[in-house]
Amino acid sequence: MAVLTKRYSCLILQGVIFLYVIGSLVYVAHRHFNNPQGWNPSFGHRRPQIRIPYNPSYADQPSSYTIGPYHNPEQMVIQLPAPGNTTQRVKAGFVSLVRNNELIGMLSSMRDMEERFNKKYNYPWLFLNDEPFTDEFIARTSEITNAKTYYALVDSSMWSYPPHINQTLAAEGRKLLESLPYGDSESYRHMCRFQSGFFWRHPMLLELGWEYYWRVEPWVRFYCELDYDPFLYMKENNKQYAFTISFIEHGGTIPTLWSAVKEFVRLSHSKGNRYFSRPASDSLYRFITSPTAEEYNMCHFWTNFEIARVDLWHTQAYQDYFNFLDQLGGFFYERWGDAPVHSIFVALFLHKEQIHFFNDIGYRHAEYERCPDQENLLKRCYCNPAKSIDFADPMSCLNQYMDAQHSLPEEDQLTVSDIMLQT
């Protein structure tokens, strides 16, 4: 009897250990699926990301896909080019404003980009920094890609206070906004001003002669396989600007930006520079404001992912627009971001068909991500559409974007300038 009791005790103990091991494995798998970025809320920082190898068993690239919003009967069908690594290339590349201490985050972003897309196309990388790059940074970033890499310094002419800024007043402004994201950050303001008004005229970018750029930041993720060239797609379809996440800006950081934009339109118009003379129904102005343009709704495209024509920012309209805003000092006295500055301009200036939503590029920045939920796209992605910031999330402006794309011509017979000037 003692032997049987001992045997049963051993069996029970083995069963408990077995259940414990199975339970632990299920828990770890659940945590990894729901937290693939390695975000550790206890420490408030990311763990090093795991490189996911290319999976050749993915479904073939679809020829098209359809996007919502689901409440809107007007769906948008996107035709994709045939997959294939042709010899045709656009004069284009990736631009990254990054510091030496962000090397690990930059390598993480590059791994995703190279695995998902660039190992098949070898577009070059341009790295910009307000201090000289270290030998380690140059060595490790150049090793991770077969493409050419370029490294350039952002000097004080592009990263400093312009003479007209009262730095005491700027410091007081940072103090007032210290409770808001980056509200008390001086370097963040320099970055927003640089991305708004200077990266596109950096001597190295001009020397390279790129037509298009793709902005890539440290610690971002790219989730979906790309078997076609987004640069070539944009050029062949006359796209000027592209995004993948649209978001609501915190109003406290840009309280006077919209009134400044309206003042710019008024002054330009009085000088005979009718930069926004496009029919309102042909623009995306309804993405950023009401039918009467009384207020800015805070919607903008996230510029941490941005593909655009370099010469869009070289237009006289944009240069005058940036210079006007820069003279007002809102980049320093408030916290005007390059995202609303870019978004407002393209919504008012471009034809709405020149703006493209890359729904098929799964993407993550900070705690926000988006993932396509179309089955023919999702089979090619490493992400969870249930966590996507798209139509259902109140922070997303994708519904506003889709509604603006489908606005009817009879709704707005006036030009963008006419609407901006009537309030």
pLDDT band at 172 (very low <50, low <70, confident <90, very high): very high
Answer yes or no: are the C-beta atoms of 243 and 306 closer than 8 Å. yes
Structure tokens, 405: 């794309």
Residue 88 reports pLDDT greater than 90:
no
Residues 266-291 have a mean pLDDT of: 94
Q: How many helices (H) and strands (E) does the chain have?
A: 15, 16
| Average pLDDT of span 284-304 | 95
Residue 280 to residue 276: CA distance in whole angstroms: 9
Mean pLDDT of the chain: 86
Q: Above 90 in pLDDT, residue 375?
A: no
User: Rounded to an integer, what distance in angstroms lies between the CA atom of residue 166 and that of residue 346?
Assistant: 30
Mean pLDDT, residues 51-77 taken together:
68
Per-residue confidence band for 8, with pLDDT thresholds at 50, 70 and 90: very low
CA 279 to chain centre: 28
What pLDDT is stored for residue 324 in this prediction? 98
Q: What is the pLDDT of residue 46?
A: 32
Contact 278, 418 (CB under 8 A): no
Domains and CATH numbers, the chain: 154-421 (3.90.550.10)
Closest CA to 303 of 201, 213, 203: 213
3-state secondary structure (DSSP) of residue 378: helix
* pLDDT for position 15: 56
Tell me, what's the pLDDT at 32?
A: 39
Exposed e or buried b for every residue in 214-252, given b needs 16+ CB within 10 A?
bbbbbbbbbbbbbbbbbbbbbbeeebbbbbbbbbebeee
Q: From the candidates 225, 306, 334, 369, give the one annotated as an active-site residue.
A: 306
pTM: 0.85
Average pLDDT score over residue span 59-74: 76
410 an active-site residue? Answer: no
Alpha helices in 271-414 (DSSP H): 285-288, 316-328, 330-333, 338-349, 375-378, 398-405
31 — phi, psi (to 5°)? -65, -40
Residue 125's SS3 state is strand
